[in-house]
Homo-oligomer: A and B are copies of this chain.
Amino acid sequence: MRKFILIVFLLCQFFSFGQKPKFDLVQWVNPMIGTHKMGHTYPGATAPFGMVQLSPDTDTIPYAVNGKYNKDVYKYCAGYQYDDPTIVGFSHTHFSGTGHSDLGDFLLMPTTGKLQLNPGTETQPEKGYRSKFLHANEKAEPAYYSVLLDDHNIKAELTATNRVGMHQYTFPKSDEAHIILDLMHGIYNYEDKNVWTFFRVENDTLVTGFRQTNGWARTRTVYFAMSFSKPIESYGNKDYGKAQVYRGFWRKFDQSKNFPEMAGEQLRAYFNFKTEEGEKIKVKFALSPVSTEGALANMRTEIPHWDFDRVKQESQAQWNQELSKVRAVLPTKDDYINFYTALYHTFLGPTTYMDVTGQYRGLDQNNHQANGFTNYTTFSLWDTYRALHPWFNVVQPKRNADMINSMLAHYDQSVHHMLPVWSHHANENWCMIGYHSVSVIADAIMKGTYTGDANRALDACVATARQGYYDGLQYYMQLGYVPEDKNSSSVSKTLEYAYDDWCIAQVAKKLNRQDVYQEFSQRAQNWKNVYDKSIGYMRPKMSDGTFKKEFDVLSTHNQGFIEGNAWNYSLYVPQDPAALIQSMGGNKKFVPHLDSLFTMHLPDEFFADTEDITREGIIGNYVHGNEPAHHAAYLYNWTNQPWKTQERVRMILKKQYQSTPDGLGGNDDCGQMSAWYLFSSLGFYPVAPGSEQYALGSPAVKEATINLENGKTFTVEAKNQSDKNVFVQKVELNSKPLTQPFLNHSDLAKGGKLTFYMSSKPRK
């Protein structure tokens, strides 16, 4: 008997049901960071890399009205804006930190009183189902969000497992309690975005259905299964779409009330209850990329009970587990919040995109079985190849390998025979430029974290890089650059292709694929074709070989660059900074030039109207709030003044990351901004993913231990750390001095200790 009790006790410990975690890192995460202004993060509940992102939406601004773009929609990429006074409801899918959007599927909203099926407006919330709320009554934690909905006197609590969102609504006494399911709602919605929606009331506690949209993803379907803890008293729906021509045959029923199957473009449904004071109605809401059957299986597998607190505790225990991959000692409480919130933000995606059975929807719109890997989606690769995937190679190599497997599955299903560019939910949305999947793949292969068939992966990279009809690539292959008169943003494309090509060459070399190595080493030099030595900047070249005449190195509009100017983009040769610096006149010219990036004064309106660049993310002419120059501060390491990297990095960390809702200087971009923070805080950064080299900066931690998946630990210590001591006097790896400001991944992977000796004075 005693033995039995002991076993139960140990099991409880092991599964940490209700157990206080040894390290409560969850406490440091503030999901509100980035929800104000342009961070585009969401405050709701999600599990690490979870399929469900259950989060409040504070408004429903359409992407377009009558086919015209609605600029204000940009604020609502994640559905939530901190300064909004109302909450429309809680939807189940959100991107974290993107600069364009989609999703917002399946909004639920609990209400009391007279049934209202329209969402109402911010200024007149009482005319719809939405509700006013106060931040004082709001709480956001990893895998937990709660808020008091003032207009309905309902406390709403949310938690989530990987594929299932769980709602707990505490109602007042009411004979008119409702839960609204709005199938019209969505993020970046517009009048024709819903292609089809469908739902069935399977019984008095279970509803299933799907939503199919034509949005950023052109052909996207999400399936759901929703279960109530209490039987529905009655239910109904309203079809806000055009009268359906064939509806006649259904006329024998009143389909709007208590009729269990409905389909159409614009549907809102409601479910009525009677509640006692303080009565909790819980809802489990499961998603699937494949079928309602899949959603139901996900629900039954992941939450086979009705214990909300248990789900919350278990999901938070999972978060603690993930967050404990880095145990940091930091100077201030705010630093803890910034650090662990950044870590949290890097673990939000790419998101799981398969059922518990391994079934997922492929790019070919067929269902596939993921054999031997977890299928992920939401690859914002133009952003995340830079630091997020390299970060995963440090703290999540297994998941990163599966992300690569997911990219290769995408490749196998791609009619273009291409790896993803920007993909989500079984779609390629072609957003931004380059083919940075190859960077992610090369980085993992070069660092030894990709355990699959590297030759197969290389073949996919090569096929992608040779797809002529993709975005100027035919010209690039013919001329050695993308000509601006044939394809816009031509310099950005040329530079990024050249870097990606270098990545391919590295892998080819490692795998002894000489032909490929030759071809892509050659292509990697193509950055030189758009460098105009006469002015010292990258510059758009025309198909006749001449440089574009009218040219403004500061302007971000139609100068051959995307989301950046020539000034920033001219620094982009991550594969060979030394050659770039050489071209630009060597240390003597390059260092003051780079200095001026950070120190020059630009008028406030300068970057206005450039998507994804906002005032908050700018330091001088350096745009930290967007990606193209994320490596720039580290370029001093290739000059004779690496101490400037140390100074700049610490300055950026301070200026661009705050522990407040408006604490992010730009879109978090699916974790890229946060990954920059984490690397930089630890004192090193992957300037060129695809090499195993990190450039050293200046750590902001006092000490941090990375718990590697191979069981080893790698510790960074900053001796004599302080706000003023941003300069590095000396660095030791396992007590041996490093003579160059670089660290190899293989040394990190072996485990060990990197010791920085900090000082307030640069070591010149």
Contact = CB atoms under 8 A, between A and B. Distances in A.
A252 B216 contact: no
Nearest to A488: B252
Contact of A67 (B245, B472, B487): B245
Interface stretch (A188-196, A507-515, A527-535): A188-196
Copies in the complex: 2
A245 B63 contact: yes
Interface stretch (A163-171, A206-214, A310-318, A662-670): A206-214
Contacts of A215: 246
A209 to B, nearest CB: 9
Contacts of A252: 430, 470-472, 487
A139 interface: no
B250 A430 contact: yes
Contacts of A292: 364-366
A201 interface: yes
Contact of A200 (B196, B200, B364): B364
A415 to B, nearest CB: 4
A469 interface: yes
16 contacts: A195-B195, A195-B212, A201-B415, A214-B263, A218-B263, A219-B263, A249-B430, A249-B431, A252-B470, A253-B469, A259-B469, A260-B416, A261-B415, A291-B366, A292-B365, A292-B366
Contacts of A192: 242, 245
A198 interface: yes
A293 interface: yes
A243 interface: yes
A629 interface: no
A196 B219 contact: yes
A20 B664 CA distance: 80
A552 interface: no
A429 B252 CA distance: 11
Given A67-B245, A195-B196, 9 more contacts: A195-B212, A198-B219, A200-B364, A249-B429, A252-B430, A252-B487, A253-B471, A291-B366, A292-B366
A552 B675 CA distance: 81
Contact of A202 (B200, B243, B249, B415): B415
A232 interface: no
B195 A366 contact: no
Chain A to chain B: the 7 pairs with minimum beta-carbon distance, closest first: A200-B415, A293-B366, A291-B366, A260-B415, A252-B471, A64-B245, A249-B430
A565 B218 CA distance: 51
Contacts of A64: 245
Nearest to A63: B245
A332 interface: no
Nearest to A68: B245
A543 interface: no
B415 A216 contact: no
Secondary structure dominating the interface of A: loop
Interface of A: 63-64, 67, 190, 192-193, 195-196, 198, 200-202, 208, 210, 212, 214-216, 218-219, 242-246, 249-250, 252-253, 258-261, 263-264, 291-293, 364-367, 415-416, 429-431, 469-472, 487
A212 to B, nearest CB: 7
A487 B258 CA distance: 18
A245 B201 contact: no
Given A416-B261, A471-B252, A245 B200 contact: no
B212 A196 contact: yes
A116 to B, nearest CB: 26
Contacts of A208: 364
B67 A193 contact: no
A208 B261 CA distance: 30
Nearest to A291: B366
Contact of A210 (B264, B365, B415, B416): B365
A208 B362 CA distance: 14
Contacts of A201: 415
A192 B195 CA distance: 11
A260 B260 CA distance: 40
Contacts of A198: 219, 365
A244 to B, nearest CB: 6
Nearest to A201: B415
Nearest to A193: B245
B202 A291 contact: no
Which residue among A218, A293, A487 has the maximum number of chain B CB atoms within 10 Å of its CB? A218
Contacts of A193: 245
A245 B210 CA distance: 22
B67 A190 contact: no
A63 B248 CA distance: 13
A65 B259 CA distance: 29
Contacts of A263: 214, 218-219
A644 B611 CA distance: 86
A242 B258 CA distance: 35
Nearest to A249: B430
A293 B487 CA distance: 36
A427 B104 CA distance: 28
Nearest to A295: B366
A644 to B, nearest CB: 38
A292 to B, nearest CB: 6
Contact of A367 (B210, B216, B250, B367): B367
Nearest to A416: B260
A196 B471 CA distance: 26
Nearest to A248: B69
A198 B264 CA distance: 19
A259 B192 CA distance: 24
A246 B218 contact: yes
A291 B366 CA distance: 6
A197 B216 CA distance: 17
A153 B15 CA distance: 75
A246 B214 contact: yes
A215 B250 CA distance: 12
